[in-house]
Structure 1
Amino acid sequence: MSKVAKVEESVEVAVPVGVAYNQWTQFEEFPLFMQGVERIEQRTPTLTHWVTKVDGVSREFDAKVVEQIPDERVAWTTVEGEVHQAGVVTFHRLDDRNTKVMLQLEHEPQGAVEHAADKLGLVKRQITQDLKRFKTYIESRGVETGGWRGRV
Protein backbone atom coordinates (compact mmCIF):
# COMPACT_ATOMS: atom_id res chain seq x y z
CA MET A 1 0.00 0.00 0.00
CA SER A 2 1.26 3.44 -0.93
CA LYS A 3 1.96 6.12 1.60
CA VAL A 4 -0.58 8.94 1.55
CA ALA A 5 0.97 12.30 0.73
CA LYS A 6 -0.62 15.57 1.85
CA VAL A 7 -0.38 19.02 0.30
CA GLU A 8 -1.88 22.31 1.50
CA GLU A 9 -1.60 25.52 -0.50
CA SER A 10 -3.53 28.77 -0.75
CA VAL A 11 -3.79 31.87 -2.89
CA GLU A 12 -5.51 35.22 -2.42
CA VAL A 13 -7.63 36.34 -5.35
CA ALA A 14 -8.96 39.84 -5.95
CA VAL A 15 -12.58 38.84 -6.55
CA PRO A 16 -15.53 38.41 -4.16
CA VAL A 17 -15.93 35.02 -2.50
CA GLY A 18 -19.01 34.18 -4.60
CA VAL A 19 -17.12 34.78 -7.85
CA ALA A 20 -14.17 32.58 -6.80
CA TYR A 21 -16.48 29.82 -5.55
CA ASN A 22 -18.74 29.89 -8.61
CA GLN A 23 -15.76 29.65 -10.98
CA TRP A 24 -14.30 26.73 -9.03
CA THR A 25 -17.53 24.77 -9.60
CA GLN A 26 -16.96 24.98 -13.36
CA PHE A 27 -14.89 21.78 -13.46
CA GLU A 28 -14.81 21.49 -17.26
CA GLU A 29 -12.80 24.74 -17.34
CA PHE A 30 -10.01 23.44 -15.04
CA PRO A 31 -7.75 22.65 -18.07
CA LEU A 32 -7.58 26.42 -18.67
CA PHE A 33 -5.52 26.87 -15.48
CA MET A 34 -4.48 23.40 -14.28
CA GLN A 35 -1.38 22.09 -15.98
CA GLY A 36 -1.61 18.39 -16.75
CA VAL A 37 -5.41 18.32 -16.83
CA GLU A 38 -6.35 17.60 -20.43
CA ARG A 39 -10.11 17.25 -20.07
CA ILE A 40 -12.87 17.03 -17.47
CA GLU A 41 -16.36 15.83 -18.27
CA GLN A 42 -19.16 16.79 -15.88
CA ARG A 43 -21.26 13.59 -15.88
CA THR A 44 -23.71 14.51 -13.11
CA PRO A 45 -23.87 17.48 -10.71
CA THR A 46 -21.51 15.55 -8.38
CA LEU A 47 -19.54 13.22 -10.69
CA THR A 48 -16.69 14.22 -13.02
CA HIS A 49 -14.44 12.20 -15.32
CA TRP A 50 -10.83 13.44 -15.52
CA VAL A 51 -8.20 12.87 -18.21
CA THR A 52 -4.70 13.95 -17.14
CA LYS A 53 -1.22 13.76 -18.60
CA VAL A 54 1.75 14.58 -16.40
CA ASP A 55 5.32 13.98 -17.53
CA GLY A 56 4.07 11.78 -20.36
CA VAL A 57 1.93 9.59 -18.10
CA SER A 58 -1.78 9.61 -19.00
CA ARG A 59 -4.38 8.76 -16.39
CA GLU A 60 -8.18 8.69 -16.27
CA PHE A 61 -10.34 8.66 -13.17
CA ASP A 62 -13.72 9.65 -11.80
CA ALA A 63 -14.12 12.01 -8.88
CA LYS A 64 -17.21 12.58 -6.79
CA VAL A 65 -18.11 15.72 -4.87
CA VAL A 66 -18.84 14.49 -1.33
CA GLU A 67 -19.52 17.88 0.28
CA GLN A 68 -20.40 21.22 -1.21
CA ILE A 69 -21.48 24.34 0.64
CA PRO A 70 -21.89 27.45 -1.56
CA ASP A 71 -19.24 30.12 -0.95
CA GLU A 72 -17.50 27.90 1.63
CA ARG A 73 -16.18 24.54 0.41
CA VAL A 74 -16.08 21.79 -2.19
CA ALA A 75 -14.74 18.37 -1.10
CA TRP A 76 -14.15 15.38 -3.36
CA THR A 77 -12.73 11.89 -3.56
CA THR A 78 -11.82 9.65 -6.45
CA VAL A 79 -14.18 6.75 -7.02
CA GLU A 80 -12.93 5.00 -10.18
CA GLY A 81 -9.62 4.80 -11.97
CA GLU A 82 -5.89 4.71 -11.39
CA VAL A 83 -5.66 7.81 -9.21
CA HIS A 84 -6.40 7.73 -5.49
CA GLN A 85 -6.94 11.14 -3.94
CA ALA A 86 -9.26 13.20 -1.81
CA GLY A 87 -9.32 16.90 -1.14
CA VAL A 88 -11.16 20.03 -0.21
CA VAL A 89 -10.99 23.59 -1.43
CA THR A 90 -12.26 26.25 0.95
CA PHE A 91 -13.11 29.87 0.27
CA HIS A 92 -12.44 32.53 2.91
CA ARG A 93 -13.89 36.02 2.54
CA LEU A 94 -11.17 38.55 3.32
CA ASP A 95 -13.33 41.56 2.45
CA ASP A 96 -15.92 42.48 -0.19
CA ARG A 97 -13.42 42.15 -3.04
CA ASN A 98 -10.82 39.61 -1.89
CA THR A 99 -10.92 35.89 -1.17
CA LYS A 100 -8.44 33.34 0.12
CA VAL A 101 -8.72 30.01 -1.72
CA MET A 102 -7.17 27.11 0.21
CA LEU A 103 -6.63 23.67 -1.31
CA GLN A 104 -5.89 20.59 0.79
CA LEU A 105 -5.11 17.38 -1.08
CA GLU A 106 -4.30 13.83 0.00
CA HIS A 107 -3.03 11.52 -2.71
CA GLU A 108 -1.31 8.17 -3.08
CA PRO A 109 1.74 8.39 -5.35
CA GLN A 110 1.87 5.45 -7.77
CA GLY A 111 5.24 3.97 -8.74
CA ALA A 112 8.81 5.15 -8.29
CA VAL A 113 8.52 8.28 -10.45
CA GLU A 114 5.51 9.66 -8.54
CA HIS A 115 7.09 8.81 -5.17
CA ALA A 116 10.27 10.66 -6.20
CA ALA A 117 8.25 13.63 -7.50
CA ASP A 118 6.39 13.81 -4.20
CA LYS A 119 9.61 13.66 -2.16
CA LEU A 120 11.09 16.46 -4.28
CA GLY A 121 8.04 18.64 -3.64
CA LEU A 122 6.94 18.64 -7.29
CA VAL A 123 3.28 17.95 -6.45
CA LYS A 124 3.19 20.88 -4.03
CA ARG A 125 4.92 23.09 -6.61
CA GLN A 126 2.38 22.04 -9.28
CA ILE A 127 -0.54 22.90 -7.00
CA THR A 128 1.03 26.27 -6.15
CA GLN A 129 1.40 27.06 -9.86
CA ASP A 130 -2.16 25.89 -10.64
CA LEU A 131 -3.54 28.17 -7.92
CA LYS A 132 -1.52 31.09 -9.30
CA ARG A 133 -2.96 30.37 -12.76
CA PHE A 134 -6.47 30.26 -11.23
CA LYS A 135 -5.78 33.68 -9.68
CA THR A 136 -4.69 35.10 -13.05
CA TYR A 137 -7.64 33.46 -14.82
CA ILE A 138 -10.38 34.72 -12.49
CA GLU A 139 -8.86 38.16 -11.89
CA SER A 140 -8.42 38.79 -15.61
CA ARG A 141 -12.11 37.93 -16.16
CA GLY A 142 -13.44 39.63 -13.03
CA VAL A 143 -16.60 37.52 -13.25
CA GLU A 144 -17.27 33.81 -13.17
CA THR A 145 -18.18 31.87 -16.33
CA GLY A 146 -20.95 30.07 -14.44
CA GLY A 147 -21.65 28.49 -11.11
CA TRP A 148 -23.36 25.57 -9.47
CA ARG A 149 -24.75 26.50 -6.08
CA GLY A 150 -26.22 23.15 -5.07
CA ARG A 151 -25.49 21.64 -1.67
CA VAL A 152 -24.07 18.18 -1.17
Structure 2
Amino acid sequence: MESIDQIDDTHNHWKVKIGGVEREFDAEITEQHPDERVAWKSVDGTSHAGVVTFHKLSDTSSRVAVQIDWAPEGLIEKAGDLLNFDQRSVKKDLAHFKEFIESRPSETGAWRGDVPRD
Protein backbone atom coordinates (compact mmCIF):
# COMPACT_ATOMS: atom_id res chain seq x y z
CA MET A 1 0.00 0.00 0.00
CA GLU A 2 1.51 3.28 -1.06
CA SER A 3 -1.39 5.57 -0.09
CA ILE A 4 -5.14 5.99 0.20
CA ASP A 5 -6.40 9.56 -0.18
CA GLN A 6 -9.90 10.51 0.98
CA ILE A 7 -11.82 12.30 -1.80
CA ASP A 8 -15.11 12.71 0.10
CA ASP A 9 -17.02 10.83 2.82
CA THR A 10 -17.38 7.63 0.80
CA HIS A 11 -14.78 7.84 -1.99
CA ASN A 12 -11.01 7.48 -1.97
CA HIS A 13 -8.07 7.13 -4.34
CA TRP A 14 -5.66 4.20 -3.90
CA LYS A 15 -2.03 3.78 -4.93
CA VAL A 16 -0.71 0.25 -4.50
CA LYS A 17 2.54 -1.45 -5.37
CA ILE A 18 3.00 -5.21 -5.15
CA GLY A 19 5.94 -7.05 -6.63
CA GLY A 20 7.08 -3.95 -8.49
CA VAL A 21 3.70 -3.44 -10.20
CA GLU A 22 2.01 -0.11 -9.42
CA ARG A 23 -1.70 0.56 -9.75
CA GLU A 24 -4.02 3.46 -9.02
CA PHE A 25 -7.79 3.33 -8.76
CA ASP A 26 -10.77 4.95 -7.11
CA ALA A 27 -12.89 3.10 -4.58
CA GLU A 28 -16.18 3.61 -2.79
CA ILE A 29 -16.75 2.83 0.89
CA THR A 30 -19.73 0.47 0.89
CA GLU A 31 -19.98 0.05 4.66
CA GLN A 32 -18.37 1.81 7.60
CA HIS A 33 -18.88 1.56 11.34
CA PRO A 34 -16.21 3.53 13.23
CA ASP A 35 -13.80 1.40 15.27
CA GLU A 36 -15.46 -1.77 13.92
CA ARG A 37 -15.54 -2.21 10.14
CA VAL A 38 -14.73 -0.59 6.78
CA ALA A 39 -15.67 -2.22 3.45
CA TRP A 40 -14.95 -0.93 -0.05
CA LYS A 41 -15.06 -1.75 -3.74
CA SER A 42 -13.28 -0.22 -6.71
CA VAL A 43 -15.31 1.97 -9.04
CA ASP A 44 -12.89 2.12 -11.95
CA GLY A 45 -10.03 0.19 -13.50
CA THR A 46 -8.78 -2.58 -11.23
CA SER A 47 -11.30 -5.04 -9.84
CA HIS A 48 -10.70 -4.68 -6.11
CA ALA A 49 -12.86 -5.08 -2.99
CA GLY A 50 -12.26 -5.72 0.66
CA VAL A 51 -13.14 -5.31 4.30
CA VAL A 52 -11.11 -4.46 7.41
CA THR A 53 -12.45 -5.31 10.86
CA PHE A 54 -11.16 -4.03 14.19
CA HIS A 55 -11.52 -6.04 17.41
CA LYS A 56 -10.63 -4.34 20.70
CA LEU A 57 -8.60 -6.68 22.91
CA SER A 58 -7.75 -4.16 25.65
CA ASP A 59 -7.40 -0.41 26.11
CA THR A 60 -4.04 -0.50 24.33
CA SER A 61 -4.29 -3.32 21.81
CA SER A 62 -6.54 -4.62 19.07
CA ARG A 63 -6.80 -7.28 16.42
CA VAL A 64 -7.09 -6.05 12.84
CA ALA A 65 -8.28 -8.46 10.15
CA VAL A 66 -8.45 -7.85 6.42
CA GLN A 67 -9.97 -9.62 3.44
CA ILE A 68 -9.11 -8.36 -0.04
CA ASP A 69 -10.50 -9.70 -3.29
CA TRP A 70 -8.63 -8.75 -6.44
CA ALA A 71 -7.77 -10.31 -9.78
CA PRO A 72 -4.09 -10.32 -10.77
CA GLU A 73 -3.49 -9.14 -14.33
CA GLY A 74 -0.50 -9.84 -16.50
CA LEU A 75 2.39 -12.24 -16.05
CA ILE A 76 4.17 -10.40 -13.22
CA GLU A 77 1.05 -10.08 -11.04
CA LYS A 78 0.03 -13.69 -11.65
CA ALA A 79 3.53 -14.90 -10.73
CA GLY A 80 3.52 -12.68 -7.63
CA ASP A 81 0.15 -14.13 -6.64
CA LEU A 82 1.47 -17.68 -6.98
CA LEU A 83 4.47 -16.79 -4.79
CA ASN A 84 2.19 -15.09 -2.21
CA PHE A 85 3.85 -11.67 -2.62
CA ASP A 86 0.43 -10.05 -2.31
CA GLN A 87 -0.38 -11.80 0.98
CA ARG A 88 3.02 -10.96 2.47
CA SER A 89 2.69 -7.34 1.38
CA VAL A 90 -0.78 -7.00 2.92
CA LYS A 91 0.37 -8.67 6.15
CA LYS A 92 3.31 -6.25 6.41
CA ASP A 93 1.12 -3.21 5.69
CA LEU A 94 -1.45 -4.41 8.22
CA ALA A 95 1.20 -4.77 10.94
CA HIS A 96 2.39 -1.19 10.27
CA PHE A 97 -1.20 0.09 10.29
CA LYS A 98 -1.96 -1.69 13.59
CA GLU A 99 1.19 -0.21 15.16
CA PHE A 100 0.23 3.26 13.90
CA ILE A 101 -3.34 3.05 15.22
CA GLU A 102 -2.32 1.71 18.62
CA SER A 103 0.30 4.46 19.04
CA ARG A 104 -2.28 7.24 18.59
CA PRO A 105 -4.13 8.64 21.62
CA SER A 106 -7.21 9.26 19.44
CA GLU A 107 -8.43 8.92 15.87
CA THR A 108 -6.91 10.98 13.08
CA GLY A 109 -8.79 13.87 11.49
CA ALA A 110 -10.58 11.87 8.79
CA TRP A 111 -14.38 11.67 8.64
CA ARG A 112 -15.61 8.82 10.86
CA GLY A 113 -19.32 8.68 10.15
CA ASP A 114 -21.46 5.58 9.75
CA VAL A 115 -22.12 4.19 6.24
CA PRO A 116 -24.79 1.47 6.31
CA ARG A 117 -24.43 -1.48 3.97
CA ASP A 118 -26.79 -1.23 0.99
TM range (shorter): 0.7 to 0.9
Q: How many Å separate the matches in 2 of 1:88 and 1:45?
A: 17
* Aligned counterpart, 1:94: 57
Alignment of 1:1-152 (within 5 A): 34=1, 37=2, 39-81=3-45, 83-152=46-115
Q: How many Å separate the matches in 1 of 2:98 and 2:88?
A: 15
Q: How many Å separate the matches in 2 of 1:143 and 1:54?
A: 30
* Aligned counterpart, 1:16: none
Q: How many Å separate the matches in 2 of 1:98 and 1:113?
A: 37
Instruction: Give the secondary structure class of the aligned counterpart of 2:102.
Output: helix
- Per-residue CA deviation, residues 34-74 of structure 1 (Å, 9 max, x unaligned), is 4xx1x433221101122334444332210100011122110
Instruction: Give the secondary structure class of the aligned counterpart of 1:131.
Output: helix
What is the number of equivalent residue pairs in this alignment?
115
Change (3 A) 1:140 1:70: closer
**Unmatched 5+ stretches in structure 1:** 1-33
Amino acid corresponding to residue 88 of structure 1 in structure 2: V
**Unmatched 5+ stretches in structure 2:** none
Q: How far has the Cα of 1:98 moved from its partner?
A: 2.2
Instruction: Give the secondary structure class of the aligned counterpart of 1:106.
Output: strand
Give the TM-score, by structure 1 length.
0.67
Give the TM-score, by structure 2 length.
0.83
Say if 2:60 and 2:102, in contact at 8 Å, map to a contact too.
Answer: no
